[in-house]
Amino acid sequence: MAAAAPAPHPDPLADPLSDAALATSLEGGFTSRHADAGPVRLHYVEGGAGTPVLLLGGWPQTWWQWRRLMPGLARRHRVLAVDLRGMGASAKPAAGYDKKTMAGDIRALCEALDLGPVHVVGHDIGAMVGYALAVEHPAAVARLALLDVPHPHPGWLTMPLLPGDPDQANAPAAGREGAFLWWFALNQVRGLPERLLAGQGMRAVVDWLADYLAADPAALDERARRVYARAYADPEAIRAGNAWYQAFGTDIAHSRAHTPVRVPLLALGGERGNHADLARWAPGAGTDVRVAAIADCGHYLPEERPQEVLAALAGFLD
């Protein structure tokens, strides 16, 4: 009897939510790739040509959060949207989620791809990693843009556990300072979120955060919400994403030794997002700092106001 033919490998393009399919859906010839970056294997999506621009995103999202910026940036730059350690299709090791170590991952990726000095644009957790990269590996960074979030600093240690107003925990945060960041505390707990949220639970979290933090929740469309919820649906992905938050104490300790970075730094916040905290922190974070806000925008700048963000980045990066 003849041996059975091996089962064909599934076509990643047949899954509309796969990284390969999402990458090819963008204008600019983007492709989904992997590279060994020191001890971890990182996933990234690349397109365009010119001076490299690294896009580093945050929780609970993936590289897909940059989809509305990538084609525009790729007209003048080599664009790499990177899934950080623990994110999306990148490796999810047991440890190493402090931002100094994660910055080392990005430095190793730059070396593996022979990129030379790069422009870095970070949002949320990615902004923390981007700043740590400029602190720890200044020769690797040409210019640095931080979107809506600073590096963890000692002021975070006084963050209230309870909202001053009981309604604050549920009323949309866009448009007022002092949002109640309850997930900062939840994500500190080891083991429990994985049990609570695996499966469909992360879709509820993605929806709640979009509605709470975005000035325009519809900007995080149904496909994006499905991509993000699926990326964090299994226990290992939840555990890894939470580890970014569990490392904040270490990140704050590291920040006490930071000296202002010398690369040009753009601190770009959502006017109705976290601009106030970012604007207070940024002037002491560098020697060449520009602070700006995107009007009528919440936390999710690249998705809510992509054209305004592109304009700000073009004026800064070019």
Chain segment 108-132, per-residue pLDDT in tens: 999 999 999 999 999 999 999 999 9
Specify the pLDDT at position 166. Answer: 78
Q: Is the peptide bond before 60 cis (omega within 30 degrees of 0)?
A: yes
Q: Which helix (H) or strand (E) holds 122?
A: strand 118-123
Asked whether the predicted pLDDT for residue 4 surpasses 60, the reply is no
Asked whether the predicted pLDDT for residue 17 surpasses 70, the reply is yes
The contacts of residue 201 (CB under 8 Å, 6+ apart) are: none
> Cα angle vertex 65, ends 153, 62, to 5°?
75
Q: Which helix (H) or strand (E) holds 294?
A: strand 289-294
- What band does 234 get if pLDDT is binned at 50, 70 and 90? very high
Specify the pLDDT at position 14. Answer: 84
Mean pLDDT of 41-52: 98
Between these two residues, 106 and 13, which has the higher pLDDT value?
106
Gap between the Cα atoms of 197 and 192, Å rounded: 9
Specify the pLDDT at position 8. Answer: 57
Catalytic entry in 43, 151, 153, 299 = 299
Angle between helices 222-231 and 201-213 (to 10 degrees): 130
Asked whether the predicted pLDDT for residue 134 surpasses 70, the reply is yes
Instruction: Find residue 36's DSSP bridge partners.
Output: 41
- What band does 294 get if pLDDT is binned at 50, 70 and 90? very high
Sole residue written with tokens 């064909």: 8
Gap between the Cα atoms of 97 and 77, Å rounded: 29
Specify the pLDDT at position 68. Answer: 98
Asked whether the predicted pLDDT for residue 10 surpasses 80, the reply is no
277 is catalytic: no
Specify the pLDDT at position 3. Answer: 54
| Percent of the chain with pLDDT strictly greater than 70 | 95
- What band does 39 get if pLDDT is binned at 50, 70 and 90? very high
- What band does 13 get if pLDDT is binned at 50, 70 and 90? confident
Asked whether the predicted pLDDT for residue 6 surpasses 60, the reply is no
Over residues 76-96, the pLDDT tens digits come to 999 999 999 999 999 999 999
Catalytic entry in 83, 105, 124, 148 = 124
Please list the alpha-helical segments (H only) found in the chain: 19-24, 70-74, 99-112, 125-136, 182-186, 192-197, 201-213, 222-231, 235-246, 248-255, 275-281, 301-304, 306-317
| Percent of the chain with pLDDT strictly greater than 90 | 88
Do strands 118-123 and 51-56 pair parallel, antiparallel, or not at all (unpaired)? parallel
The contacts of residue 220 (CB under 8 Å, 6+ apart) are: 206, 210, 214, 300, 303
Q: Looking at the chain, how many residues does it have? A: 318
Q: Which residues of 194-216 are buried (b: 16+ CB within 10 A; e: fewer)?
A: beebbeebbbebbeebbebbbbb
Nearest to 241 by CA among 19, 61, 77, 116: 61
Are 206 and 228 in contact by the 8 Å Cβ rule? The answer is yes
Asked whether the predicted pLDDT for residue 1 surpasses 60, the reply is no
Specify the pLDDT at position 229. Answer: 98
CATH of 17-152+160-317, one of 2.40.110.10, 3.20.20.140, 3.90.79.10, 3.40.50.1820: 3.40.50.1820
Gap between the Cα atoms of 6 and 209, Å rounded: 44
Are 123 and 100 in contact by the 8 Å Cβ rule? The answer is no
Specify the pLDDT at position 101. Answer: 98
- What band does 174 get if pLDDT is binned at 50, 70 and 90? low
- What band does 168 get if pLDDT is binned at 50, 70 and 90? confident
Q: Which of 2-6, 47-51, 62-66, 228-232 has the lowest mean pLDDT?
A: 2-6
Averaged pLDDT of the chain: 94
Mean pLDDT of 55-69: 98
124 is catalytic: yes
Are 121 and 147 in contact by the 8 Å Cβ rule? The answer is yes
| Domain assignments of the chain as residue spans, ordered by start | 17-152+160-317
